[in-house]
Amino acid sequence: MAEAGIQGLPRWERKARIVLCAFGLVLSVYALHVEVSRERNPDYRAMCDLGESVSCSKVFTSRWGRGFGLVQVFVAKDSPLNQPNSVLGIIFYTLQMGLGLLLSKRAAMFLVVSSWVSVVGSIYLASILVFVLGDFCMVCVSTYIVNFALLFTNLKRRKAIEGMKEKAG
């Protein structure tokens, strides 16, 4: 059995969360930088643009790079509600990091639910990447992996917190 950390949580959970959220934040900030740079200068070439079919800037500036390509169906393309996916990522990873500091059942449940939403979003965007855009985006795929790893981490956390609450009650 894995060693227990603070109040029954697996020792690896906190470190894993910090690493995953920090990596997710770096990826999201970089994605936002690439998108903004490309919008300002169409000739901008990002480090992640390795070829015609391996181009993150092509993906980030596509219709699906903002609001998952769904928000602009309901609001104008330039609406403040139609934010880049990277902004949503920055918010998501910040919340994951902050709520991961709390030892409440409610926070643990929110972490799991929001992780499931991120995984569903990752699967949706991965299918767009492959079947619609026909592109490979290293930054995108890396965030999908981070999202799956955070889901695993959050499921373990929720189970540990529920076990702690049952022992205490």
Backbone region of residue 79 per phi and psi (left: phi > 0; alpha: psi in -120 to 50; beta: other values): beta
Residue 169: strand, helix, or coil? coil
Mean pLDDT, residues 12-29 taken together: 97
Structure pTM?
Answer: 0.89
Mean pLDDT, residues 88-114 taken together: 95
Q: Does residue 6 surpass a pLDDT of 80? A: no
Mean pLDDT, residues 73-90 taken together: 93
Residue 100 gets which letter from DSSP? T
Q: What percent of the chain has pLDDT over 70?
A: 92
Question: Selecting from 3.20.20.70, 1.20.1440.130, 1.10.1060.10, 3.40.50.1240, what CATH number does the domain 14-168 have?
Answer: 1.20.1440.130
The 10s digit of each residue's pLDDT in 49-65 is 999 899 999 999 999 99
Mean pLDDT, residues 94-115 taken together: 95
* Domain edges within the chain: 14-168
CA–chain centroid gap for 79, Å, is 22
Average pLDDT, the chain: 91
Backbone region of residue 149 per phi and psi (left: phi > 0; alpha: psi in -120 to 50; beta: other values): alpha
Burial 47-74 (b: 16+ CB within 10 A, else e): ebbeeeeebbbbbbbbebbbbbbeebee
> Residue 10: what pLDDT?
82
User: 2: which residues sit within 8 A by CB, 6+ positions away?
Assistant: 10, 11, 12
The band of 77, judged by pLDDT with boundaries at 50, 70 and 90, is: confident
> Residue 45: what pLDDT?
93
φ, ψ at 54 (rounded to 5°): -130, 80
